[in-house]
Amino acid sequence: MNSLQIIILQHNTVWHNPVANQQRFEIQLNELSDSTKLVILPEMWTSGFTMAPERVAETMDGTSIQWMKEMAKKHHIAICGSLAIQEEKYFYNRFVFVHPNGRLDTYDKAHPYTPSGEEKVYRAGKQIALIQYAGFRIRPLVCYDLRFPVFARNTDDYDLLICVANWPAARIQAWNALLRARAIENMAYCVGVNRTGKDNNQLTYSGGSAAYNALGDELIYMDEKQTASTFKIELYTLRQTRKKLPFLKDQDDFTLT
């Protein structure tokens, strides 16, 4: 029976300070149990949701990626989250998944958040990603991606949808509803990881990181004070649910143009 022990780290991100954020997360990583296999950090975990990437963006050889590799190797885990990355003249809000052996999978946020002007400073990704880890097929999303059900549609038989975010408290009910909906309509586990606190844009975040199974049942829900939560997902249980309720086989076949 394939199972995956996951821990969510939900924090008040320190604005424009990758080193301080690394230190904050590392304290909790050093307390992991041996059963933990995947650690998920929020969107832009190194800096907060900044529209000034020129101040904080790193390369794929930068200190934050190196830190993620070191943590993955030290704790024998996979670790993921998004951060501002620069390639040539472009900036990306990039989801990075680091395997225990240091191998990387990446996904660039496809839907920049236009109300904040994100599309003006970050280049949108053009490809979806499918990450294979510990027997699970994982599809990553970044924040605003969650609002677009066709984009998240389960046409590639993924088992786990991960959405990392900086989702403000003012719209937390939408976050709650969309996470559950993505799990139900895609017959997959869905995990959303948010942050807490207030950023330099004067936006308040109330956490609400959560995980749901393929039927929309809540596995965990974190309040604004919690900083870590652990849960387990099981591939056998998911497959049995899909076998009993084969909803994905009946979904409409269409192509966007």
Catalytic residues: 43, 109, 143
* Residue 160 backbone phi and psi in degrees, to 5: -140, 125
Give the orientation angle of helix 18-29 with respect to helix 63-75, to 10 degrees.
0
Give 149's contacts (C-beta < 8 A, 6+ positions apart). Answer: 181, 182, 185
Q: Is 108 helix (H, G, I), strand (E, B) or coil?
A: strand
Taking the C-alpha atoms of residue 49 and residue 30, their distance in angstroms, rounded to an integer, is 26
Gap between the Cα atoms of 69 and 97, Å rounded: 10
Tell me which residue has tokens 């794929």.
60
Residue type, 96: V
74, 42 Cβ separation under 8 angstroms: no
